[in-house]
A and B are shown apart, each in its own frame.
Chain A
Amino acid sequence: MIRPSDRLQDDEGDAQAARLRKVWANPGGWRYWTSVNNTQIGLWYAATAFIFLLFAGVLALIMRAQLAVPGNDLISADFYSQAFTLHGTVMMFLFAVPIFEAVAIFLLPPMLGARELPFPRLGAFGFWSFLLGGIFVCGSIFFDAAPSSGWFMYPPLATDENLSGIGADIWLLGLSFIEVASIAAAVELIVGIMKCRAPGMRINLMPLFAWYLLIVAGMILFAFPPLIAGDILFELQRMFDWPFFDPARGGDPLLWQHLFWIFGHPEVYIIFLPSIALMAMIVPTFAQRPIVGYSWIVLAAVGTGFLSFGLWVHHMFATGLPQISLAFFSAASEAVAIPTAVQIFVFIATMLAGRVIPSTPMLFGMGGIIIFVIGGLTGVMVAVAPFDWQAHDTYFIVAHLHYVLIGGMLFPVIAGIYYYYPLIDAKHLSDRLGRIAFWLMFAGFNVSFFPMHLTGLLGMPRRVFTYPDDVGWNGLNLISTLGAFVFAAGISLVVLDVLRPKHRQRRGEQNPWNAGTLEWISEPKENWGVRSIPFVASRYPLWDQPALARQIGEGRWYLPDAEEGRREGLVTSVLDARPEQVLRVGGTSYVTIISALSLGAVFVALTFKWWIATMVAATVCFCAIVYWLWTGTAEIPEKAEKEVGVGLTLPLYTSGPPSVGWWAMFITMVGDSTAFASLVFGYFFYWTIHDDFTAGVIGPGMKWPLLSAALFVAAWLMVLMARHLNGRGSIILTRAVLAVGVVLAVVASTAGFAGPWQYGMDPRAHVYAAIVWLLTAWTLVHAATGAVMLAYCLARHFAGRLTKDHDMDIGNVALYWHFMAITAVVTFIVIGLFPEVL
C-alpha cells in the first residue's frame, strides 16, 4: 500500500497551491475565450449543445402546431421540410453527441483523478469547430436555405440540385466539419481514459462512466468514418457529378443507405450509452452502496457496442432486400435488447440492495427508465421485419424513437444536471422546481408521444406537413400537440432553474450527495482539477479511503506543485495505471481558435463553391496546424526526469506506445482506416450489384497501380530505416533517408495517378471510373500528408527538436506510414488486379 507524503508546513503548502493556481488559471478579460481548460471547455460545450436543443425543440413545437388540426396552413410544405430535417439533424449531431462529449470533457479528468485530458488544445479546437459548424447549419433556416431532404438525406432526392438546393451542401459540409470535431473529441477521450488515470486505478477499478465513455468513443471511431466516406461520395456527386448514387450510370442510391445506417444505428447507442453511464454514477450514490454487478454492466455495455454495428439493415427492411438478410438482421436487432435489459436490471439490483434516498436526480432517472422501457419494447416489435413493414416510416416509429431517446437520453441528462450542478459552483438547483419540471415533462411527454403509436398504425406516415380531415387522425394529433407544449413547459422550467440567479444561496459542502467517486473532491473555485493526484485503490475511493479527500486537498499526493510553471499531469499504463511519465499539456492559446475557424472557413467556402476562398482558408489552416504541432508537441524538456512526490521520479519525455501522442496517432488512423474500408466496401458493393461492374469502361491497367504500390512500400521502408538510423544516432544518414522517403512518396503518387489518367478514365461517365478515381485520390491525399510529415521530421531534425533520444515525431510518423502502406497496397491491388484478374 502506498502512503501519502507527510503533511507540509502551512506556508509551504500555500506557496505550492499558489504556484499551482497561477499555472492553471484562466486568462482574464476577453482572452478568457482562449482558455483550453477542461472545465471551461466542458461548460461551454454543454451550454452550446443545450442552446441547440432548445432551438431544435422550438422547431418541433412549430411542427406540432402545424399538425394540431388537419389541412392546416400555418407553415408551408417547404418550411415544414426544413424544420423536420433540421430538428432531427440538430438533435442528433448538435445536441445528443456533443452533450456527452461536453459532460465527458468536464467530468472525466476529476473522475479519473487527473488534472486534465491529454490534449486540452484539441478539446478546445473541437469545441470551436462544433460552435462554428452548428451556427452554420442552424443559421441556414433563417435564409430559407436549410437542408430539407430529411436528416437521412437519401439520394436521389438529396443529390438532385433542383430538389434539394444548397441546403444539402450545408448539411454535408457543415456536418462533416462537426464529425471531424467529434472524432477529435473521441481521440482525446480514449487516450485520456486509457493513459491519464490516477496511479493505482486499474482498468477494473475505473468508474463506470469512464468505461462507458471509452466504449462510446471507440464506437464513434468506427461509426462516424463510414458517414464521412458517404459524405465524400455524396459531395463529389453534387459538386462534380460523379455518379455514385445515379442508377443510370451504374450507381445505386442504396449504397448511401448502407453507409448512413452503418453510422446511424451505432449513433443511437452512442447517444444512449453515455446517459446510462450517468445513471451508473447516480444510482449507487442514492442507493448509498457500490453498484451490484460491475462486471455485468461493463460486459453488457461492451456487448451493446459490438452488436450495435450489426443492426443497421433494420432501417432498410422495406427496401426489398432478400428475406434471409431480413431474418438475420431481425435476430441481431432483438439480441441487443438483452444487454440493454442487463443494464437496467443492474440498476434495479443496486437499488434493491441498498436504501434509496429520494431526490430529483433519481426522479428524472427512474422516470427516464420507465419511458425508455416502453421505447425498448416497441423497438423489439419493430425489429420483427413483418411488423416493421407496417410500422416503418409512420408515427409509430416517431413514438418509438422519442421514447428511446427522451427516456434513454434526455431524462438521464437532466438527472445528471441536477446531480452534477454542485460541481459547477458548489450551489444546487431547486428540488421544488425540479420536481414540478419532472412531472410536467413526464406527463407532457407521454400525452404527446403515446398516442402517436396509434396514429402510426392508423396509417399516418412520418414527415407529412399536413393530413386529411377524414382518416381519423384528428383527435390523436391534437392531443399530441397539447402534450408537446406541456413537455416544453417542463423543459423551460429546467432552463429557468439553471439560469436563475443564485448568489444569495450559500456555497454548499464539497460532496453534497455523499458520493463515492473522485469527481466530488474537485473544488469548483479552483481550476487545477485536483490539488494533488491520488493513488486510488478502490472503485469508490471516497467511501473506501476515508482520509483520501483530506490528503488530496493537503497536497500530500503526486504533483502537488508546479515549480517549473508548466501544466502537468501524470501518464499511466493502460491496464494497471502504473505511473510512466509526467505529461506537460498545452496551455491557453489562440492557435486552436485560428485552426478551428480556418478549417470552418474551408467548409463554408466549399459550400458556396468559392474556390479561391477555400484555398486561402486551407492554407491558413495548414499553417496554423503546423505551427501548433511545431510549438506545442514533442517538446524536449529542460531535464530528463522529475520528482513528482511520494518518493516517485518519472521521465518528462517518452515516445512510442507508452506516450499519449503515439496512442492518439494510432486511434486517429484506426478511424481513418475505417473510412477507407467504407470506400473499399463501396467498390465491392458496386461489383456485387452489377453483372458487369465495369460496364465496359476501361480500367487503370495493372502496370501503373502495381508499380505505385511497390513504390509506396519502398517509401514506407525508407521511413522505417530513418527511424532506425535516428535511433542509432546517424545524423546525416537519417536526413538523407528521410529526403529519399519524400521523393519516393511523390514518385509513387505520380505512378498511382498515371493509371486512371493514362487510360483516360472519366469519373463522370460511369461509377466504375468514379470509384477508381476516388480510391486513387484517397491514397494520394494520404501520401501527400505522409510526405509533409516526413518533411516535418526532416525540419525538426535540422532544428534539433528531433534527436536520438527525443524521437517522438519520427515514431509517430512511422506509425502513420504503417497505415499509409496498407492503404496504398489495398487501393492499388483492388483497382489494379480485381477487374482484370477476376
Chain B
Amino acid sequence: MLVGCQGVQSALDPAGAEARAISTLFVAMVLTGGAVWLGVASILWFAMRQGRAVVAEQSASRLIFWGGAVFPSVTLITLLGYAFWLMPSLRPFATASEAALRIEVTGRQYWWQVAYHRSGPPILAANEIRLPVGSRIEFSLKSDDVIHSFWIPSLGGKMDMIPGRANRLSLLADKPGVFRGACAEYCGSSHALMALTAVVMEPAAFDAWLMTEAKASINAGGEGGALFVHHGCGSCHRVAGTEASGTLGPDLSHLGSRQMLAAGIIANTEDNIARFIAAPDAIKPGANMPAFSMLPQEDIRAIAVWLKRLE
C-alpha cells in the first residue's frame, strides 16, 4: 500500500512540512471515514435482511436522532477542531522585511516564469524551482494571462495564480530530492503539459547554485549564440550574458542545467530542443511560440547544441 503511494508527485509521499501534516490528516480521516462507512453499510445490510425482527418505531426514531444527528455532529466538531488547530501553523508568512528569499512565480500559457528575490537584482529562470532544504520559502504567485494553479504535491497544497492578484504561499521542504509539480487549474489546451520541476537541495549546494545562476553562463558566446540572436530568438527569450533579453517566452539562461524541457514534459536533450524549435505545437498544442521549421536544419541543431551547453 505504502509503495503505491510513492512518487515524485504524490501528496502521500511528503517531503515538506505542509504535505506531511496534510498526509497525516488524510490518514486520520480515511480511518474514521472507513469506520463510518462500514457502520452504515452494516446497518443497511441488516435492514435489508429477510426474516429479521421488526424494530419498534420508537427505537427506529431514536436511531435517526443518535445516528443521523448526534453522531455526525460530534464527529464533525472533532474534525473541525483538528483542522482549525492545524490551519494557522501550515502557512505562516514572514513579515515583508524579514523574508530572506522570496520566489516569484508567474503562470503563463503553458510555462512558469520564476524570479528569485534576495538582496540584489532578482535572479530569473523558468520552469524549474530550486529550494534549500529546511528553511521556509515564501512564494509570490501571479499570472499574466489566464488562471493557473501552482502545485507541488510532495511539498504542500496548491494556490491559484490569478490575473490582477498576487497570492502568497509558503513552503518548507524537509527532504532533499527532485519532485514534480503541475498546473492544477485548467488553463487551455496544453494544461496537461504544464508541469514543473522542483529540486530541493542542501542549503550550501543551493547557495552555490544560486550564485552560478546569478551570473552569465560561461558558454554564452559562440556560433550558436550568434545564430540565436540572428534568428530573432532574443525578442522573446532572455539568455544572461547575451543580447537576448526578451521576456515573452521562458528565460533560457543556464538551460543546460535544467532537468526537463518545455515546462517539465520532455527530457532535456539536444534532440528535444531542436524538435521544439522546429515545431513547438507538435509537442505542446496551443503554445504561443511560432514554429521555426523554416530555419536551416544545421542552424537549429547549432542553437540546440548551444542551449544545452548553457550551464
Contact = CB atoms under 8 A, between A and B. Distances in A.
A150 B186 contact: yes
A247 B191 contact: no
Nearest to A160: B146
Interface in A66-82: 76-78, 81
Contacts of A337: 72, 76
Contacts of A330: 80, 83
A378 interface: yes
A728 interface: no
A345 B83 contact: no
A238 B188 CA distance: 18
Given A342-B69, A351-B47, A163 B54 contact: no
B86 interface: yes
B295 interface: no
Given A253-B163, A338-B76, A348-B63, A465 B83 contact: no
Task: Assign chain A's interface to a size class.
Answer: 35 or more
Contacts of B189: 77-78, 81, 148, 465
B184 A386 contact: no
A296 B70 CA distance: 13
20 contacts: A81-B189, A293-B61, A318-B184, A320-B141, A341-B67, A353-B56, A355-B54, A356-B48, A356-B50, A370-B44, A377-B37, A381-B30, A384-B83, A386-B157, A387-B25, A389-B159, A390-B153, A390-B158, A458-B10, A461-B182
Nearest to A475: B4
Interface string B137-170: 0000100011101010100111110111101100
B11 A459 contact: yes
Interface in B173-195: 180, 182-193, 195
A77 B191 CA distance: 9
A460 B8 CA distance: 11
Contact of B33 (A254, A356, A380, A457): A380
B197 interface: no
B88 interface: yes
B5 to A, nearest CB: 7
A320 B265 contact: no
Interface string B44-63: 10111010001111011101
Contacts of A150: 186
Contacts of A688: none
Given A341-B68, A345-B67, A386-B86, 7 more contacts: A293-B61, A318-B160, A348-B40, A352-B59, A387-B26, A459-B8, A467-B192
B112 to A, nearest CB: 15
Given A292-B60, A345-B67, A458-B10, A319 B184 contact: no
Contacts of A393: 149, 158, 184-186
A334 interface: yes
B10 to A, nearest CB: 5
A675 interface: no
A452 interface: no
A373 interface: yes
A369 B45 CA distance: 11
Contacts of A323: 87-88
B162 A346 contact: no
A546 B63 CA distance: 31
Given A390-B19, A459-B182, A373 B37 contact: yes
Interface centre among A345, A366, A377, A381, by most chain B C-beta atoms within 10 angstroms, is: A345
Contacts of A293: 60-61, 64
A348 B90 contact: no
Interface of B: 4-12, 18-19, 21-22, 25-26, 29-30, 33, 36-37, 40-41, 43-44, 46-48, 50, 54-57, 59-61, 63-64, 67-69, 71-73, 76, 79-80, 83-84, 86-88, 90, 141, 145-147, 149, 151, 153, 156-160, 162-165, 167-168, 180, 182-193, 195, 265, 285-286
A633 to B, nearest CB: 45
A458 B72 contact: no
A115 to B, nearest CB: 35
Nearest to A466: B192
Contacts of B10: 457-459, 472
B4 A454 contact: yes
Interface in A580-598: none
Contacts of B180: 459, 471
Interface string A147-178: 01110001011001001000000000000000
Contacts of A251: 164
Given A346-B68, A348-B43, A464-B192, A459 B54 contact: no
A392 interface: yes
Contacts of B76: 334-335, 337-338, 380
A349 interface: yes
A292 B61 contact: yes
Interface in A12-48: none
A472 B158 contact: no
Contacts of A157: 146-147, 186-188
Contacts of B4: 454, 472
A374 interface: yes
A320 B48 contact: no
A462 interface: yes
A30 B254 CA distance: 74
Contact of A154 (B63, B147, B183): B147
Interface in A335-365: 335, 337-338, 341-346, 348-356, 358, 362
A346 B48 contact: no
A292 B57 contact: yes
Given A157-B187, A373-B41, A457-B10, A338 B156 contact: no
A389 B22 CA distance: 9
Interface string A264-298: 00000000000000000000000000001100100
Closest 9 pairs (CB-CB, A-B): A389-B157, A247-B164, A459-B9, A345-B68, A464-B192, A320-B167, A349-B60, A342-B68, A351-B47
Contacts of B69: 338, 341-342
A248 interface: yes
Contacts of A342: 64, 68-69
A678 interface: no
A599 interface: no
Contact of A318 (B33, B50, B159): B159
Contacts of A77: 189-190, 192, 285-286
B183 A468 contact: no
Contacts of B185: 154, 393
Interface in A438-462: 454, 457-462
A358 B50 contact: yes
- Pick the most buried of A335, A348, A366, A385: most chain B CB atoms within 10 A of its CB: A348
A348 B46 CA distance: 10
A355 B147 CA distance: 55
A332 to B, nearest CB: 11
A163 B146 contact: yes
Nearest to B156: A389
Given A157-B187, A348-B43, A384-B29, A458 B61 contact: no
From A326, A390, A458, A462, residue with most partner B Cβ within 10 Å = A390
B33 A381 contact: yes
Q: Which of A252, A349, A362 has the most CB of B within 10 A?
A: A349
Contacts of B83: 330, 384-386
A346 B43 CA distance: 12
A83 to B, nearest CB: 12
A158 to B, nearest CB: 9
Interface in A240-270: 247-248, 251-254
A354 B57 CA distance: 9
A464 to B, nearest CB: 3
Contacts of A354: 54
Nearest to A464: B192
A68 B107 CA distance: 29
A76 B285 contact: yes
A818 interface: no
Contact of A464 (B59, B88, B165, B191): B191
